Amino acid sequence: MDAQELLHDALVIDLHNDTIVAHIRRGNWSLFADGDAARAGAAIRHAGTISFVRGAEAPRPGANPIQINVPKMRHAGIDGGLFAIDVTLAFKNWLTYAADGLGYVLHDLETSGADAVIVKTAQDLLDAKAAGRPALLLAIEHADVVERSLNVLRILYEAGVRSIGLTHNVSSWAADGNAEARDGVGLTPFGRALVREMNRLGMVVDLAHVSPSAFFSALEIGDKPVIFSHGNCRALCDHPRNLTDDQLRALAQNGGVIGLSFVPMFVDESAPTLERFLDHVDHVAQVAGIETLALGSDFDGGGTLLPDALGLTQVVEGLLGRGYGEAELRAMLGENAMRVLRGTVG
């Protein structure tokens, strides 16, 4: 089985993209169409909170104008993805900003008539793959979206959100961020309550962006597997967003996964290449085991090592060339992430 055949046959899950906000900031494009069809309804769409707070965004250098959407998922063989809304910059408007993005994608799906689905459980995602329907799991970055209220968390859960990242570089009411890390300071009292309630409800705790102390505190407090949705190995690239070997081993013990990212600065400080990205795959496999590997592209949010989702073929070809077998590739492409989803969202 060649790389393309494997991608379309295997279960493929991408644990992180920023495409909802990217589509809004490009001019209210549709996530469910390509090219001119994606732009067709932009002129009549109402500009909401995200457009007002963030303004327009030009395509990222080195990448295609949109790196992932539903048509690209079909072409690339991606069955499901965590579509995240990063609320960090919406200071004191976190919840409204998130609601604007969630409402946008719900309206877009309804009006486009696309044969895609927003899923809420692991079984929903498997059913969608069986039916040939790309699946979206809704996620939010930065726990301030809940406004320090577990009742708001419950409403977000009822709206379909199935993952929340505790921070986004800067600290939140829940935890220190990696850019504001303090030794020995992990989760706040609210952060501990948040992790426990997310576990109870059936939401995935995302530890991307948290400080090392918060990372280990969350593993100690929680009783469900976690994800580190997008980031790489600090032993190969000394960036504070990457995980140390001790963190990788702790993640493996938790039963969680790391979604390896195509953000160049997380791959290598001076020469980010596809081969260097494959080195990160090798490193995680050696340190934490193949069962800890997953994909976390960060498409439309900085993951520009590949032009777009169709570049996954090159990744699989590279891994086949390094001697990875079909079973190992299926595990990395989606089966490991599915194990975590079964253990969290049900």
Kindly report, residue by residue over 13-55, the tens digit of the pLDDT. 999 999 999 999 998 999 999 877 787 766 556 679 999 999 9
pLDDT, position 60: 86
Kindly state the DSSP code that residue 322 receives in the 8-state scheme. Answer: T
Q: How far apart are CA 195 and CA 307, in angstroms?
A: 35
- The reported pLDDT for the residue numbered 185 is 74
What is the reported pLDDT for 177? 86
Determine whether 286 is exposed, middle or buried from the number of CB atoms within 10 Å of its CB (0-12, 13-18, 19+). Answer: exposed
d(CA 339, CA 336): 5
Successive 10-residue mean pLDDT values, the chain, 346 residues: 96 98 93 83 72 90 94 98 97 95 95 95 98 98 97 98 95 85 83 98 98 96 97 98 98 98 98 98 98 98 98 98 98 98 98
Q: How confident is the model at residue 78, as a pLDDT?
A: 98
pLDDT of residue 109: 95
278 sits in which H/E element: helix 274-287
DSSP track, 135-202:
EEEEEEESGGGGTT-HHHHHHHHHTTEEEEES-BSB--SSB-BGGG--TT--B-HHHHHHHHHHHHHT
Spell out the domain ranges in the chain.
3-344
Q: Could you tell me if residue 35 is left (phi over 0), alpha (psi between -120 and 50 degrees) or otherwise beta?
A: left
Query: Quick one: pLDDT at residue 62?
Result: 87
Q: Which runs of consecutive H residues, i.e. helices, occur in 26-114? A: 35-39, 49-54, 70-76, 94-112
> Would you tell me which CATH number, out of the four given (3.65.10.10, 3.20.20.140, 3.40.50.12780, 3.30.300.30), belongs to the domain 3-344?
3.20.20.140
Alpha carbon distance 107, 98 (integer Å): 14
Matching residue, tokens 């799991």: 137
pLDDT of residue 41: 64
